[in-house]
Structure 1
Amino acid sequence: MRIAIAGYGTAGQASAILLSAQGHDVTVFEQSPEPGPVGAGFLLQPTGLAVLERMGLAGRALALGQRIEELHGTTPRGRAVMAMRYRDRREGCFGLGMTRGALFELLRDAHAGASEVRTGTRIAGYDAATRRLADTDGRVHGPYDLVIAADGAHSVLRGGCGQHVRRQSLYPWGALWSLLRIDDWPEPDRLLQRYAGTRSMIGMLPVGTRPGHAGRWLTFYFSLPGEAVEHFDDAGVVAMKARVAEIWPELSPHVAHFAHAGQLQRARYRDVVLARPHHGPLVVIGDAAHAMSPQLGQGVNMALLDAAALADALASHSDLAVALEAYRRERHAHVRAYQRMSRWLTPLFQSDRTALGWCRDALFGPVGRVPGARGPMLRILTGELRHPVQDGIGQIANDPYSPGYTGSD
């Protein structure tokens, strides 16, 4: 088929690699003149690693990133709120902290058609009748047998799903992000967080290497109300550093160099729900289809799972309509589970509801130690709350990266 992909983020890159390998004629459009990563760092879960393993890229990812064994969150006074160890899910289970740049370059190097990506082309619309795309310069592209909208949380093409777009609202909170080089960080295998009620959250995620830079890196993130993120300025930097000193004084030396708002990246999050992620020959994947709060750390994993499931559906069904419906069925339960969990959990960590913070601090630890509850909590962490794909993603059910791994669980 002739396939167009709008967007060269993780979902677009992985789709281009997998579909080109199947022999499709793939054209990728990217609005940036120079494609590159957006964001500081992320936590890759076993589900996402399974897709990279299938693509032959897991080994390189492990070399670039930092293996994470535990997510540990405390109050400013040191009281443990959560302590979730991957090995409690199964022996050998782990997450992988990576910089966005490392994953972008890993996928770009694996994409044979990377040099042919049509950069500087912002897709503005799609005509279902002619199966053509139009860009902001008035140029028309196509026709295409299939159009894949991988244009992110603020997707333009998502509107092509019409009445199937059920929700696309902004969350009231957001965050500031930055990469910090700390070669002697004392907890290189733990994602650490501090919570001061529900109004302040700070995180430090080891992410391994950074392309073009020496040393070991961590992603620092600091939560703020959405309006504060939008209007963050140099005075906000001063206030942020003062708050860091109150909540996590050991971090103060590592953020002391921040003097200007431009030194930190701003992030606002959308809550996107599609009743059906396809309409005619248009299919929406990645954040364009199911953007959510990053509280559960599943965005990149979801993008990789989407790309793999779509490639499998197209390989298994010669009829496009049947293939897209098979794709929807494959991803529906997993996506819905994480959308609901993300919407439910976010106010416990980022909101103006003080009482929720008290309940979280009092109950999360004890509940997490209850045998019947700990299993589901760990499945949420690892991206395995619902079996997202058939064993084909990991190829072998006992592959330790695979959602279907049966090891010592």
Structure 2
Amino acid sequence: MSSPRTIAIVGYGTAGQALAVLLSRDNHTVHVFERAAAPGPVGAGFLLQPSGLDVLWQMDLLPQVLAHGAPVRRLYGDTPCGRTVMEMGYASLDPRLHGIGMQRGALFSLLAQAWPQPQQLHADTCIVDVDAEQGRLRDAQGRWHGPYDLVIAADGSASTLRTHVQGTRLDREYPWGALWCLLPCEDWAYPDQLRQRYVAARKMIGLLPVGTRPGDAVPRLSFFWSLPRDQFARWESDGLARWRDEIATLWPQAHARLDSITVGTQLARAGYRDAVMARWSRERLVLAGDAAHAMSPQLGQGVNMALMDALALRDALRAHPQRDAALQAYAAQRRAHVAIYHFWSRWLTPLFQSDRDTAARARDLLLKPLGDLPGGRGHMLRVLSGTQRGWLGKLGLSPGFIDAMAAHGEANTRA
């Protein structure tokens, strides 16, 4: 293991939290800077894939995650007329594996509880500048912090520090976003499935079981509604009644879940970016999470990628005493995995969030048959589960993790 370092992390999202836990456990002195005055989860829920769950197993957090999350064994999408567009089950990948739907608040709480140095979280501190050579940070009040041996920019898809690496190939905002909220699960008919409904590529509704969170034992669903970003204001002015009537027409079962939504402010608004970096580090500054590789949410990999970044950076610092060698090894490993997801998320987005009706019709006709072809289903499942590496490679999962998932499944079966 390398000598202890002083490390600054900018951002207390999933990447920042996981890094704080892992690096503190390796006896590094870690300081986290977060712009929010009261740090907390942003968004409703997400799908943890085997790739991300493997990291949480290595962090000794898998039992807590499984206790709160909801097993997701099938992904299904159709049109209002009943045409199946997507149908995939994890059992076709490995009968011992499945995804876990989880509330952002649950994972945030578990990671916060696992960090042994919470007193070194500097909340309400917006970092606006980095001296990459000296490892110093300047906040919005003009105060300088540091120097640090290493500065990790984990400040999200809209990162203000990304440009300091001086390697931006692409950084653009997607025109489409989404509205999100949590709903009581109650008697939802698909407690182990991600269900989506599509109207061409112009409208998309989704419901994902996300389990419970500490302090709230009510199982919930994460609901999302796709919407162009420039139509958020119009959606608000049109009022909830009109929107609910539209959902009742498109998907009556989803409409029945919305009784608890009475005002528009109960739905959070989300936007997305596409960012590709030619390099992930410069001097003492390195990128992690969405700051390094923001992408469309179509493949649902954001949280999983953030967890994998944190573990890879921890491992690189362990393996390479020299900082530059460690950062190069980290970037090489993660970019080899991320590249295929950037590619597919960029090409899939117009099929699910756009005005391209012809592309959507082709999707409705071809996506499921392509997935039924020899090799097609396996490739799609590896991409969705986060275990695809390059065009032909596979990302190996820890045998101990697979055994833990199998044991959990057997225990649930006996129960």
Q: Does the CA contact (< 8 Å) of 1:50 and 1:401 recur in 2?
A: no
The verdict on how the C-alpha distance between 1:72 and 1:336 changes in structure 2, with shifts beyond 3 A counting, is: same
Large movers: runs of 4+ above 6 Å:
387-390
1:71 deviation in Å?
Answer: 0.3
Q: Report the 3-state secondary structure (helix = DSSP H, G, I; strand = E; otherwise coil) of the residue aligned with 1:233.
A: helix
Measure, in 2, the Cα distance between the counterparts of 1:357 and 1:307. 36
Q: Report the 3-state secondary structure (helix = DSSP H, G, I; strand = E; otherwise coil) of the residue aligned with 2:269.
A: strand
Measure, in 2, the Cα distance between the counterparts of 1:266 and 1:58. 29
Q: Does the CA contact (< 8 Å) of 1:97 and 1:208 recur in 2?
A: yes
The root-mean-square deviation of aligned C-alpha atoms, in Å, is 1.8
Aligned equivalent of 1:200: 203
Structure 1, unmatched stretches of 5+, are: 403-409
Q: Which moved more, 1:246-255 or 1:44-53?
A: 246-255
Aligned equivalent of 1:180: 183
> 1:154-177, CA deviations, whole angstroms, 9 ceiling, x for partnerless residues?
111111111x11111011111100
Aligned equivalent of 1:58: 62
> 1:193-240, CA deviations, whole angstroms, 9 ceiling, x for partnerless residues?
001111010000000003333411000000011211365414253342
Q: What is the aligned counterpart of 2:253 among 233, 247, 250?
A: 250
> 1:312-362, CA deviations, whole angstroms, 9 ceiling, x for partnerless residues?
000000000000000011111111110110001111111000011111111
Q: Which moved more, 1:197-206 or 1:240-249?
A: 240-249
Q: What is the aligned counterpart of 2:128 among 124, 129, 138?
A: 124
Q: Report the 3-state secondary structure (helix = DSSP H, G, I; strand = E; otherwise coil) of the residue aligned with 2:389.
A: coil
TM-score (normalizing by structure 2): 0.93
Aligned equivalent of 2:51: 47
Q: What is the aligned counterpart of 1:138 among 135, 138, 142?
A: 142
Q: Does 1:384 align with 2:384?
A: no
Measure, in 2, the Cα distance between the counterparts of 1:80 and 1:318. 52
Q: How does 1:80-119 map to 2 (within 5 A)?
A: 80-119=84-123
Aligned equivalent of 1:374: 377
Aligned equivalent of 1:17: 21
Q: Does the CA contact (< 8 Å) of 1:234 and 1:261 recur in 2?
A: no
Measure, in 2, the Cα distance between the counterparts of 1:389 and 1:111. 31
Q: Does the CA contact (< 8 Å) of 1:210 and 1:217 recur in 2?
A: no
Aligned equivalent of 1:219: 222
Measure, in 1, the Cα distance between the counterparts of 2:354 and 2:370. 22
Aligned equivalent of 1:303: 306
Q: What is the aligned counterpart of 2:71 among 51, 60, 67?
A: 67
1:129 deviation in Å?
Answer: 3.6
Structure 2, unmatched stretches of 5+, are: 407-415
> 1:137-187, CA deviations, whole angstroms, 9 ceiling, x for partnerless residues?
11110001100001111111111111x111110111111000001222111
Aligned equivalent of 2:153: 149
Q: Does the CA contact (< 8 Å) of 2:133 and 2:284 recur in 1?
A: no
Aligned equivalent of 2:162: 158
Q: What is the aligned counterpart of 1:294 among 284, 293, 297?
A: 297
Aligned equivalent of 1:405: none
Aligned equivalent of 2:409: none
Q: Report the 3-state secondary structure (helix = DSSP H, G, I; strand = E; otherwise coil) of the residue aligned with 1:56.
A: coil
Aligned equivalent of 2:347: 344
Aligned equivalent of 1:263: 266
Number of paired residues? 400
The verdict on how the C-alpha distance between 1:131 and 1:115 changes in structure 2, with shifts beyond 3 A counting, is: closer
Aligned equivalent of 1:284: 287
Aligned equivalent of 1:5: 9
| Percent of aligned pairs sharing the same letter | 50
Q: Which moved more, 1:33-42 or 1:112-121?
A: 112-121
Q: Report the 3-state secondary structure (helix = DSSP H, G, I; strand = E; otherwise coil) of the residue aligned with 1:371.
A: coil
The verdict on how the C-alpha distance between 1:85 and 1:34 changes in structure 2, with shifts beyond 3 A counting, is: same
Q: Does the CA contact (< 8 Å) of 1:93 and 1:400 recur in 2?
A: no
Aligned equivalent of 1:407: none
Measure, in 2, the Cα distance between the counterparts of 1:304 and 1:48. 6
Letter in 2 for 1:222: W
Measure, in 1, the Cα distance between the counterparts of 2:123 and 2:318. 28
Q: Does the CA contact (< 8 Å) of 2:10 and 2:16 recur in 1?
A: yes
The verdict on how the C-alpha distance between 1:220 and 1:370 changes in structure 2, with shifts beyond 3 A counting, is: same
Letter in 2 for 1:20: S
Measure, in 2, the Cα distance between the counterparts of 1:385 and 1:331. 12
1:69 deviation in Å?
Answer: 0.2
Letter in 1 for 2:286: V
